[in-house]
């Protein structure tokens, strides 16, 4: 079955994705994350895409295999120190990464996760919180994260 990417318009066979080991693994990994975290990870993957090429599914699977243990553990190790990294920290860090790319402060394509991990290490719950408990008003964070959290609260 042919599908069209809503972002770039590329036609791709869904059957081919499911039949390809790396593609299937990547899809399962991202779907397992779900919600804002899964969406953030997909956007983060785009930071690894070479300027003149497509990002291969083997590379996507490798990047996800590097990230998933830390995402699932909800903690990272960088600079010899361990930092808590709940899902909201990952989402916040990806937003920061995309903003840095857009501002020209982050050179892409990325080769490693060191920049992302440094950003996560600087995350503080008050700065990364999207909503305070029982509140519909966003706490410091991006408007996008606030809107996503408000939608989640409406469920």
Bigger pLDDT: 83 or 137? 83
Quick: pLDDT tens for 127-136.
Answer: 444 433 333 3
Nearest-angstrom CA–CA distance, 78 and 143: 28
Nearest-angstrom CA–CA distance, 141 and 132: 12
Name the band, by pLDDT with cuts 50, 70 and 90, for residue 140: very low
Q: Where are the domains of the chain?
A: 33-123, 125-155
From residue 97, alpha-carbon distances to 2, 40, 104 in Å are 32, 10, 10
């Amino acid at each position: 079955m042919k599908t069209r990417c809503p972002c770039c318009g590329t036609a791709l066979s869904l059957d081919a994705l499911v039949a390809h080991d790396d593609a299937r693994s990547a899809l399962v990994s991202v779907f397992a994350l779900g919600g804002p975290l899964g969406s953030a990870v997909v956007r983060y993957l785009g930071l690894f895409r070479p300027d003149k090429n497509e990002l291969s599914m083997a590379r996507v699977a490798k990047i996800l295999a590097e990230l998933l243990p830390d995402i699932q553990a909800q903690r990272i190790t960088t600079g010899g120190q361990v930092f808590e990294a709940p899902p909201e920290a990952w989402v916040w860090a990806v937003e920061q990464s995309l903003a840095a790319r857009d501002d020209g402060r982050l050179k892409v394509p990325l080769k490693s996760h060191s920049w992302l991990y440094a950003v996560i290490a600087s995350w503080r719950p008050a700065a990364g919180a999207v909503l305070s408990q029982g509140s519909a008003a966003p706490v410091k964070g991006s408007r996008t994260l606030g809107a996503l959290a408000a939608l989640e609260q409406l469920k």
